[in-house]
Every structure is written in C-alpha cells, then in structure tokens.
Structure 1
Amino acid sequence: MNNQPKPDSKTYDDLISDVKKGIIKVPKFQRDFVWDLKATAKLLDSILKGYPIGTFILWETDQRINDIKNIGGFDLPETPLGRNVQYVLDGQQRITSLFAAYLGAKIKKPGEKKVTDYNDIVVNLEENLEEKEKDIVTVKDEAEIAIPLHDVLNFDYQMGNELEQRGFDKAQINQISAYSSAFKTYAFSTVTLRQNDIESAIEVFTRINTGGKVLTLFEIMSAKTYDEANDFDMQARWEQFQKKLNDRKYENISPSVILQILSLIISETRECKRKTILGLEKADILEKWDDAISAIEKTIDYFRTVLRIPVSQLLPYDTLIVPFSYFFLKTGKAPNGQQRKYLEELFWRSSLSLRYSSATESKLAADIKKVDLIIDGQRPPYPEFKLYINSSQDLKETDFSTGNAICKSILCILAYYEPKDFDSNGKVLLDNSYLKIASSKNYHHFFPRAYVRKHGSDAETPYANSIVNITLVSAELNKKRIGAKAPSVYLADFADENSELKHALKSHLIELDDASVIQNDFTAFLKKRSEALYAEILKRIEPSEASTKIDAVHETILEGEGQLVEFKSTLRYDMRTGEVNKKLEHVIAKTVAAFMNSDGGSLFIGVDDHGNAVGLDLDYGTLKKADRDGFQLHLGNILDSYLGKDVMKLWKLDWPLYDDRHNCHVQVTRANKPVHVSHEGKEEFFVRKEGSSQPLSRAEEHEWNKGRF
C-alpha cells in the first residue's frame, strides 16, 4: 500500500513554472492538441469561478521518454540534470490549454491552415463574478469591454501602469488584479504516480483513457525506447522510413511489422507476442533497428521486382514482409535459386490459406522455423496450411473483394504479368489510392456486370463479380471507353488503334482469338480463364524438383550485376517513351566493348537493373522480322557497325528462359587488342570499372593497355 498515489495540488503559477522549467512534460504518445478557443475559454472561466476541473495525473520518473518539444512557438526545455520529470498521463488537453493561454500562443493544428490565436480569449469586464451563469472568460467579439486573458494571467504592478495608460480606470484595474490573483492561486488537483517503470505508467494511462485514445503497441514501444543520447526516436525513424515506402508505393505497411521482426530476432523465445515485444530491451532494439529496416527494404524490393507486386495494396497481408525480412536478416543476401522457389511457395501458401487472418503472432513464430529450413536448402512441410483454392471451380466461385486475401493473391498473379492497356498496349499504372475499393475503375470486369445482368443466363449472373472476371486496367480506359459493352464490341474498337491487342490481352491471361471472347460466351470464358489462373497457382505452390535446380545462367542473373555481369531491359525499345531509341543501341555497343577491353563478361538483354525479367517481346515489336532471328540479325548489325566485323568471334548469343521469359545472353570474350566504339565520327574506348562501363581518355587508355595487349 506504500506505493498508493496520494492527492496533492499545484497552483497555476507552480504549474506554469514547472512546464517552463521542463519538469512537467506531455508524452508524445498523447493525442494531438484538439481543444478550440471556446473550450479553453470555458476551462479558464471555470477556474476563475473556483469550479473543480478534474485531476491531473502525473507520472514522476527518472526515465526519459519522447515528449512534446514545443507549445505555441515556445520551445520547452529539457528537464534539468538530476531532476525527475513528471509526465502528464491525464489532463494533456487541459494543461496545454492553460499554457497556451498563459503564453497568448498562436497554434496551428496538424492538417489545418488556420492559426488559433490565444490572444483572442478575453476577460469580460462588464460581467459580475457573482453571476455564475454568465461567462466572464470568453472569446473576443463576445464582449465590448474586455482585456486579453493573456494580460490577466501575466498581470503585475508594471502592467497595472500600462493598463492605466491604455484607458482602463482604477476600478477595472483592481478587477483585473483580483481576477489575476484568483487564477494564480487556484489549486489544481494532482495525483502523482511514483512507480518508476514505464509499464505501470502505460497501464494507468490505458485504464484512465478507456473513452479516449487507446495506445498502440508501437506507440508504447516508441515511448519506451526513446533515447536522446543516441538520437533514437522510433516514431520519427518510422516516419522517415515511410517516405522511402511512399517512393516504392508501399506506404500502407503497418509499423507493427518492424516490432515483430525485431522481436523474432532479439527474443530468446523467438516470438513476437505483445508481452514478448514489451519485454525487449531498449539497447537491443537500438542495435538491431537499422538492420531490420534494411531487411524490410530488401523484402519490398524483392516483392516489387521478383514477385512483381508493384504496390502494397495488392499484398494479401503486409505480415508477409516479416518472414521474408527474417530471411534477409539471417542471410544478409538475396536467395539463391532453390531458396527463392521455396520462399515463393511460403508466400503463396500463406496467402491462399488465409494464414495471417488470425493468431498472427504465434503463426509467425512457427513460420520463421520454415524460413530456417529454407535457408538450409530444405523445402518446409505445410500440413497446417489449409488452402482455400483447390480447383478452378473454387476460383470461379470466389467473389471479388479488395479486402479478401484470396482475391489479392489472384491480383498479384495478374500484376506479375505486367498487364497492358487494351487501347495503347502501355503498361497499366497501378496505384494504392486507386486499389482500395472494389468499385475502383482500375478493376475492370472483362464481361461488364451490366452486360452479364442483361444478357447472361440465370446460371451466369451469380458469377458476374467472380475474381476470374477481373482484369487490371487504367481507370480512364474503364470509365470512358468500355462501360457495359460486350467484350467482342469494345475489343473490336481497340483492335483498330492497337496492333498489339493480342499481346495486351495475353498479359491478362486472356486469348484474343478464343471463341469465348469472340462469341461473348461468358460461361466458356470463366472456364478457360479460371483454368489458366489455377495453373498459375499450382506453379507457385508446387515447385517441381526441376524448378528448384537453377542452371548457371539463371544463378548468374540472381546474383545481380557486377564487374562481369550487366543487365539491359531492352535493345532499342525505350520503356519510358514507348518508342525506338537509337541511343540504347549505342549503350549496348559500349557495354560489349567494355567487356572486351577488360576481362570479358555477360550482357543480358531483357533483364532490368533489379534482375527482373522483361523479355524480348518489346524489342521484337520494333523489328521488321519480329522474332528471335530478326533480333539476332539486328544486334549483329549494331555490333558490326559500332565495333567492326573483326570482333565477331569475341561474342556469341544464347537465349535462356528466365521467369517464363526469354532473354538474350551476350557472352563476351576478352580481346587481344583494343576495341573502340565508332560513334558520330569519334573513336571511344570503354572498360569495366566498379561494375559499370566507363570511358577512358587517350592518356588513360594508354595506361590501361600497357602490358594488357
């Protein structure tokens, strides 16, 4: 019972003094200041009349947690060394209002342009203090004879003289002095909690705020881990990281992800339950924070480039980031071919079994054991993962919803093939803001629902909103060009303006010349597309022995670019403009020459900078002979033109299949004499340095060639 807090009191002067000295602080986990001028005026009016305004509950401790640094332009000082700090657990809105009124502060609330000026709170000198029902402290313009509250709160002898010069008579000045004294001597009720641990303080805060803000685990841990000496503010660090996530279009990731990752890495039990996270030591979190953030970045890049999930809104669960980040934390590098297949199986089985729809923490603890097996090159068993899609019929019967993890899984598969717009063959731009609701125009029912309702049979209409009927298209295309038209009708319109319509539809797993499309046969369409989608699912959840055995070329791509490896998305097709760009051909020639002048190497055309398969179809579309033979002929002409025919024996081609797309592998041998690039009447010399092709001046070339050729 000795720890039971005892009631106490502080005067207005003492309260303000303690705030100004940095002894009383408002913790950062409190909600933003929301009171308006009228609410503050009402509070001060109650104080002036001697009414109780509730008790301030303070937590006194020698610990330092994150707190509010500025109120109304006044920078709050740090707590003096050797002094305990008193954090406000209950009464933040009141104490902030009192301090803002004392300062006559100007405050702009988050998200608002309007500035609230606390000098606009006045004391009405026409009203009598005895008339309790009338407000004496009010907002400007509601009283004719008034004085700013700020002046009353700061009244002293000198101000009395100033007020006399401003036209106030002695009776009014005496009245102001009396009001000032009433404010300054008002005894605010306080209760101080002196248990030093933050868990007790959080428990008190949670209990007394049952009708207000409920603290999230992240907010609690942000308060607990704040460390000024190490410049660590978890909330600020996460907000900074959010900017990077925004750039990657993964801004919807919950901060709980980082806590789960840290707990799985730090805790001895390798769990991420709430109790376990709360028990993590601050020093351990500070030590592992940057590594965990880096692992999340690598995971998101992996999702975007390898799984080709361009935006976070498509992720079945953002919890999926946790086991993958665990992998990157444990290994420190990208997965090899076998690990990659097993990780992808984990991703798809988790998604299609609704793995993280409940009991997430305990399931994550089990799933990192599967990741440990994957790291060791073993395929994990999945007896506890019950798949909800076990046939093409199951897919057909899945109603489309943006909040459904099964539907999101299918959307991820569709996104993997980088769907093209029907009218332009341009890549469909997907954005989180467009994908949150099912009515978004990014989601197109290939057989429009209005069309199915009007022309479909009784057996067909229930499937109008099936996930199998969903395609991803640009919003404007869906809204203005398609409407309720039959597929054969709107596709005929697009065929006139898009010569690559067949290719565009293939990117949606739809065949243009299929009878179901030509004849508007919805039943046949559902059957064929559901079978195609289910085949895609099987590829992902049942990695064959052959699929996990990666050949040397495949492994080279997975290891990424370096001194001996270079990736180029295309030979001549500019992915930004959608047109032929001759400058890209020059870049190809420079790269090949650089390999010849160095130690040889491999150039992969049809693979982007991230190791993501692009394929050769885009380049094929720019050639008269739109196939591999045409590509080989054109590439040969480029190298002959830039490098000369005498180096033909130094390069050869093969056409490896990578992520279901062929690329062109240019194998380059080291030359026995300098190879120059003839470009615009000049002879250029390139070499490989620091993993890129770099030009050398004549003098540098001379030094490079010494003893080399």
Structure 2
Amino acid sequence: MQQSSKAQDRPLGVWFQNIQHGYVKLPRFQRYEAWDRHRVASFLDTIIHNLPVGVTLALEVAGEEKFLSRYISTADPASPGTVNQHLLDGQQRLTAFWRSMHNNYEWVTFFVHLPEFDKSLEGNEERDISIRSQNRWTANNGTRRPIWSDEPAKCLDRGLIPIDLLRPEDLSSEVDQWITEATASLEPADDEPEALKKYKAYTAVKDRLKAQISELRERVKHFNLPYLSLPAQTSKDVALQVFINMNTNSKPLSLYDIIVAEVESIAQRSLHDLEQELVESCPKAMRYGDVRNLILATSALLQEKLPNNRGMIEMNKQVLLDNWGTLEVGLERMANLLESQGVVDEARLPTNAVLAVLAAAYEHVPEDGDFVAKAEELLRAYLWSAFFTDRYENSAASRAYADFRALKELLIRRDFTEADWKQVPIFNREEHPLADQDSLISAGWPKNVGIERRGILAVSSYFGANDFADDKRISYGNVRKREYHHIFPDALLAEAEIPSYLALNCALITWKTNRIIGRKDPLEYIKERVDLSNEDAVRTRLKSHLIPYECLSKAHYADLEGEPLASRLRADFDQFLKDRAVLVEAAVLELTRGKQPTLDQIWSQQEPQSDD
C-alpha cells in the first residue's frame, strides 16, 4: 500500500473553514481537551510570530466514516457538510486555535498585547507583541469578571486586543466597531480647542490600530499548519497503529488510550462515553483509585486474565463491552464493602491489588438472599488478610489473579465451608502468616505508602476513629479535614531521641485538634485541645482508635524530679505500643476471619495490662 509521507501545506484560514463546515472531525477514541491556558497561549504566540510548528496527521474519509467521530469542541456546525478527514494527531492545536478564535473558554480570555497602545508601560519595558491571558469568573450576580475584559476602551488602555478579532473570516464591521468603541474617548468634540489637531491625532491612532490588527489577521489566516495524510483506503488497524506511533501529545499514550482505540475499532463504541457513565453511576468506586485502572483490571479478571498490562491487552474488547453492566455493579459493591470496613478512600487504602479482585468476585454474589452474608464474610476475610499478610508485597497482579480464581471457585460452588477457605492462597497462614505484635509495633508512618502501616490505620477507622474534638466518626466526607497526628508528640519523643513515626503512634484527627501541641504530655494536650475535663468522654474517643487510655493517663513528664526523661519516656512509650499492638492484633484476628467485631468485644477479649 502506497501512503503519503510528505507533509502537505494548509493555512489556518482553510483549517478554520473546514472545522466551521464540519469537514474535519475527531475520532471518538481521541482524548478530550488537555491544554491549559499556558499551552494555548504558547501556541497562539507561535502563530502571531509566524514560527514553525509540527505537522498534524489526518485520515482521509471517502464515503462511510471508519470511526465514530465528534466535532472539535464548540465547533458543532448548524448545517454540517460531508466529513472528508479524521484528525488523528493535532487535536489540541486545532481545538486551541478554534476556541481562542472565538474566545469561548469559560475560564480565560486571550488577548494580543500591542505595547504601542499600553499606557502602563515604562520607557525601558519589553516592546514585543505577545499573547496575554486573563482569568475569568462569574460573580454571584451573574456578571462575568473582570468586567474590563469586555470593555474595548479599558482593554486598549492596557494595550490588549481580543484574540477573536483575528478570526479568519469577514469581520470588517466587527473590527471597525471595536476600534470605534476602544478609541471613543480620544475623539474630540467639535467645539474643543484645537479640535482639528486632536481629530487628526485620533484618526491616526485608529489607523495605526487597524493596520496592526489587519496585519495580524493576515498572519493568522496564512499561517501554515501542515499535515500528513493517510489515504481513505487505509485499514482501521493501520490507522490506529499510526495514531499510536504519531501522537504528539505532551502526555504519552497510556495502555488505556490504546484500548480505547481498539474498542473503537472492534465495537464502534466510545469507551470515553461509557467511562463517564460509569463515573456517574458508581461514584463511590471512584474514591479508591483511577477509574481507568479499575475498568481495565476488573475487566481483565472478569475474562480470567491477569490484571496487568499483558492481561489487559489480551482480553477480548467486545467481551469487555458485553461485561459492562457486571463491571459497574461489581465496582459499586466493592466500594460499599470497603466503606463498610472503614476504608474511606485511596489515600487510606493499604493495597489497590484487592480492588479488581473484589469487583470481579461480585459477579458471583447475588444482590440478596442468604448466600450474600456467607459470600461477603469470605470477601471481608480476603480483604483484611491482604492488609495483614505479605501476600501482595510482591508480584501483586499474579497473586491477585490466583486468589481471584480460587475465590471464584468457592463462590460458584456456594456450599463451601470456612474449612474450604484454605484453597485460596492468601489464607495459607504458613506461607502468609498474619502480622504479629512485633511487626505491628515496627510498622512505619501510615501517611506513607505501605500495606501493613495503612492496615493498622484501617483497623482504627473500622471502629470509627472518632475525632478527639467533635466526636464524629471518620467518613469520606470528613477524612480530608483530618491529619496524621502523633499520639505521643513528636517533639516530646525527639527530645529523648525516640522514633515517633510509627503506625501505632498515629491517629487521624481534625486539623484543629492537631495544631500547637508541642511537647506536652499526651493526655494533657488531648484534654486541652478538645476542651474536655470529662474523663469518660476522653476515654471513649480514644477507645474508638484502639488507644489505651491507661497508658496516656500515666504519661506525665513535667516534673520528673531528677529522673532522666529518656528512660521514663521510653518505658512508657514502649508499653503504650505493646498495649495498642495487643488491641490491634485482637481486631486483626477477628477481621481476617471475616467477622465484624465490636469495640466492646475487642476490649473485653484483650484488655491491655499496663505496667504501673
């Protein structure tokens, strides 16, 4: 097949007309707008200075379009013509050109800065023509701010000409009207002193302004944006491969982009549209990770493929679409399960390896009936085992795949017992033992990525993690207002050279409670910050974090009467870590069996015994 590799010239004036009449469209697998104001301004600056840019890539269309398509943003023509090209590469440039030529961005207005007319410039300032952008917003009364951006006279005082006056179509009357309004204050009255002289100066300004605008309009109209062309007979697979290879977006193509193209090629369905529908129908699922990764990993498991790049490439794209309803339901039920277990968002999720496994497993769990409780007990046990074993520390995708297949077998069989759980690799406690107290004590700070450290935080969230001040349970709605707080203050421990960034020394509490703590004794600052003197209230709120009150009530360091701070503090802190580890371990043992323990059950089973 002979294909052109020679770039063809096309001025922006022709591009504009082709977009305007609907002759050029975008394949639906193309990304949407991605450029920010700075990228747009940079491209416009290239145009007005007549500098070269890279080529675009188009697929010729003759007859029926090979791909589902859409018009460039805001360019839907009232009476569209026949499509003759699909733009494979160059979307961002031509979208920026089209929208700026209409200045229809909601959040910014673009101008050409003509220094000659800028009254604010000092004598030694830069005098080159350039592109300027102005942020825009809508006030409560509905007016678009700043108001001056829409007032020609005030724009001209700043040396600013709206970029849409350079639009490559007949704008003679529009340009003249803008110039007239912009220079109205310069026009003298007939009875003014030296009216004739002032009038000549006024007309000279108008002429110079019109001349500059006319020159810029010509520059825009004839600016060359060349393109490479694939002939209309090019097959879909070749066009897609060229699209992938030639894409010049600043963000490299992802696997998702490639699969979008494959779905488009095979099924003539837009994965972008389905993705948006999924976001709207499964809002909770979006809390736990990138929607695209969730779609691909879960879809791969639903086809019994590894939830990694290899499996995602191998999976059947038509089956991906056929499974879409199952995918949506599974993702939302996965999110509901995580929420019920106190895991509120991605930042607090110990490992994302569980997400696709849970979502895909729900294909085999009915919406209601007696089996639901049995199945979800199994899935809860799987979830917490992933948080407190080393199962997903390495080779997470292949291990998640093995666990999913074993879970699926049990769920399909339905008559499984707890003894059958051992068929699932993650429940092999010899190969993957649960974290013990020593491991819990040494786990690092949970704000940082790490399965076990975040697992410890998840345990306290499971029991509510009530805020020390407002007593509210942790939730997705309030978690972003909370901070990672040192129970034994960092400043106090640092004074004794004791490491403080440990998961068992952390509690998530609101920022108002977490400020200005200093080196105060733990219980002292807790009472002070929450403005409480009621011991039962303090005890109850600490209890919801599995924080042993007794350890804090004895931790006083203001008056040690000669006793070294380090030795006393180290002993108290070590005891605190041991006592909290006992409580967390007791909870872990229940949770990894799929049970749903209460606070009273944990505290009654394992009441910590602090040393006096």
User: Match of 2:534?
Assistant: 497
Whether 1:289 and 2:283 are equivalent positions in the alignment is no
Structure 1 counterpart of 2:102, from 94, 100, 105: 105
- Counterpart in 2 of 1:24? 24
Alignment of 1:347 with 2:401, yes or no, is no
Alignment counterpart, residue 465 of structure 1, candidates 501, 504, 510:
501
* Alpha-carbon RMSD: 4.9
Choose which of 365, 379, 388 in structure 1 pairs with 2:401.
365
Distance in 2, matches of 1:13 and 1:55, equals 16
How do residues 480-559 of structure 1 correspond to structure 2 at under 5 angstroms?
483-490=518-525, 496-497=533-534, 499-513=536-550, 517=554, 521-541=572-592
Tell me the equivalent position of 2:54: 54
From 377, 390, 411, the equivalent of 2:457 is 411
The letter for the 2-side match of 1:324 is L
Conservation of the 8 A alpha-carbon contact between 2:56 and 2:228: yes
Structure 2 vs 1, CA of residues 473 and 203 (structure 1 numbering), >3 Å: closer, same or farther? same
Q: Report the Cα offset of residue 286 of structure 1.
A: 3.4
Distance (whole Å) between structure 2 residues aligned to residue 391 and residue 428 of structure 1: 27
Any conservation in 2 of the 1:124–1:137 contact (CA below 8 Å)?
A: no
Match of 1:401 among 446, 463, 466: 446
Structure 1 position 122, deviation (Å): 8.0
Residues in 1 aligned to 2:161 and 2:526: alpha-carbon distance in whole angstroms: 74
* Alpha-carbon distance in structure 1 between the residues aligned to 2:253 and 2:511: 38
- 1:87 is paired with a residue whose SS is strand
1:550-597 CA-to-partner distances (Å, cap 9, x unmatched) read xxxxxxxxxxxxxxxxxxxxxxxxxxxxxxxxxxxxxxxxxxxxxxxx
Residue 428 of structure 1 pairs with residue 473 of structure 2:
yes
Aligned CA distance change for structure 1 residues 396 and 173 (closer, same or farther; 3 Å): closer
SS across alignment from 2:9: strand
Q: 2:425 aligns with which of 382, 394, 406?
A: 382
Are the counterparts in 1 of residues 350 and 454 from structure 2 also a CA contact under 8 Å? yes
Q: CA deviation at 1:76?
A: 4.8
Deviation of the 1:536 alpha carbon: 2.5
State how far apart, in whole Å, the 1-side matches of 2:160 and 2:473 are: 66
Deviation at 1:508, TM superposition (A): 2.3
> What does the per-residue CA deviation read over 1:275-304, in whole Å, with 9 as the maximum and x for residues that have no partner?
543465554333322321121111111222
Within 2, Cα distance between the matches of 1:310 and 1:352? 18
How far apart, CA to CA, are the structure 2 residues paired with 1:262 and 1:471?
36
Query: Contact between 1:505 and 1:511, CA under 8 Å: does it hold in 2?
Result: yes
Q: Which of 306, 318, 334 is the equivalent residue of 1:299?
A: 334
Distance in 2 (CA, whole Å) between partners of 1:200 and 1:410 is: 51
Counterpart Cα distance in 1 of 2:345 and 2:588? 20
Whether the 8 Å contact between 2:179 and 2:209 is mirrored in structure 1 is no
Q: Are residues 1:114 and 2:108 paired?
A: yes
SS of equivalent to 2:58: strand
Greater CA drift, 211-220 or 390-399: 211-220
2:81 is equivalent to residue 92 of structure 1: no
1:599-632 per-position Cα deviation (integer Å, ceiling 9, x unaligned)? xxxxxxxxxxxxx8889x8xxxxxxxxxxxxxxx
Distance 1:499 1:283, change over 3 A: same
Q: Deviations over 1:491-529 (max 9, x none)?
A: 666762353433333322234345984677212111122
Give the match for residue 214 of structure 1: 252
How far apart are residue 362 of structure 1 and its match?
A: 3.1
Bigger share in helix = 2
| Alpha-carbon distance between aligned partners in 2 of 1:247 and 1:504, rounded to the nearest angstrom | 27
Of residues 408-417 and 318-327 in structure 1, the stretch that sits farther from structure 2 once superposed is 318-327
Amino acid at match of 1:349: S
Deviations 1:333-374 (A, max 9, x none): 365454333322321232334555554443333222122133
AA aligned opposite 1:17: Q
> What is the rounded CA distance, in whole Å, between the counterparts of 1:5 and 1:289 in structure 2?
40
Cα offset, 1:201, TM superposition: 4.8
Q: Is the 8 A contact 2:60 2:84 kept in 1?
A: yes
Q: 1:696 aligns to what?
A: none
Superposition deviation, residue 225 in structure 1: 4.2
- Give the alignment partner of residue 297 of structure 2, picking from 247, 260, 284: 260
Closer, same or farther in 2 for the Cα pair 1:488/1:144, shift >3 Å? Answer: closer
Q: How far 1:257 sits from its partner (Å)? A: 0.7
Normalising by structure 2, we get a TM-score of 0.68
1:253 Cα deviation from its structure 2 partner: 4.5
Question: Which amino acid is the alignment partner of residue 440 of structure 2?
Answer: L
Q: State how 1:26-45 maps to structure 2 within 5 Å.
A: 26=26, 28-29=30-31, 31-34=33-36, 39-45=42-48
The code of the aligned residue for 1:218 comes to Y
Structure 1 residues 516 and 9: alpha-carbon distance in aligned structure 2, compared to 1, 3 A threshold:
same
Q: Distance in 2 between matches of 1:174 and 1:472?
A: 64
Summarize the Cα distance change of 1:660–1:352 in structure 2 as closer, same or farther, 3 Å threshold.
Answer: same
Counterpart CA distance in 1 for 2:171 and 2:538 is: 83
SS of match in other structure, 2:228? strand
Whether the aligned pair in 1 keeps the contact of 2:548 and 2:580 (CA below 8 Å) is: no
Q: Quote the Cα distance in structure 2 between the aligned partners of 1:491 and 1:237.
A: 49
CA contact (8 A) 1:41 1:121 kept: no
- Tell me the distance in 2 between the aligned counterparts of 1:14 and 1:116: 22
Aligned match of 2:487 in 441, 446, 449? 446
Cα distance change on mapping 1:123 and 1:68 into 2, 3 Å: farther
Do 1:441 and 1:474's aligned partners in 2 also have CA atoms closer than 8 Å? yes
**Structure 1 residue 474: deviation in Å?**
3.3
Quick check: 1:198–1:224 contact (8 Å CA) kept in 2?
no
Match for 1:450: what amino acid?
A: A
Counterpart contact for 1:124–1:138, Cα < 8 Å: no
The verdict on how the C-alpha distance between 1:197 and 1:262 changes in structure 2, with shifts beyond 3 A counting, is farther
Per-residue CA deviation, residues 137-180 of structure 1 (Å, 9 max, x unaligned), is: 97785998999774673259999999999979999999998987
Q: Is the 8 A contact 2:298 2:360 kept in 1?
A: yes
Q: Is the 8 A contact 1:319 1:356 kept in 2?
A: yes
Q: Is the 8 A contact 1:442 1:472 kept in 2?
A: yes
**Residue number in structure 2 paired with 1:690:** none
> Structure 2 counterpart of 1:295, which letter?
G
Alignment-mate amino acid for residue 114 of structure 1: V
* CA distance 1:63–1:309, change in 2 (3 Å): same
Structure 1 residues 329 and 124, CA gap change in structure 2 (3 angstroms): farther
Q: Distance in 2 between matches of 1:184 and 1:410?
A: 63
| C-alpha contact 2:463 2:598 (8 A) present in aligned 1 | no
8 Å CA contact 2:279, 2:291 repeated in 1 = no
Instruction: Return closer, same or farther for 1:84/1:363 CA change in 2, 3 Å cut-off.
Output: farther
CA contact (8 A) 1:270 1:365 kept: yes
The letter for the 1-side match of 2:98 is: F
In structure 2, the partner of 1:558 is none
What are the ranges of 5 or more consecutive residues in structure 1 without an aligned counterpart? 126-133, 548-611, 618-656, 662-709
The structure-2 alpha-carbon separation of the partners of 1:324 and 1:198, relative to structure 1 and needing over 3 Å to count, comes to farther
In 1, Cα distance between equivalents of 2:590 and 2:178? 84
CA distance in structure 1 between the partners assigned to 2:466 and 2:164 by the alignment: 64
**Aligned residue in 2 for 1:153:** 168
Counterpart residue identity of residue 368, structure 1: F
Q: Deviations over 1:424-444 (max 9, x none)?
A: 6x2333458856xxxx85333
User: Shift in Å at residue 413 of structure 1?
Assistant: 0.9
- Other-structure match for 1:640: none
Q: CA deviation at 1:29?
A: 0.9
Amino acid at match of 1:290: G
Query: C-alpha displacement at 1:106, in angstroms?
Result: 1.4
- The alignment's TM-score, normalised by the length of structure 1, stands at 0.60
Counterpart contact for 1:249–1:431, Cα < 8 Å = no
Cα distance in 1 between the residues matched to 2:35 and 2:238: 24
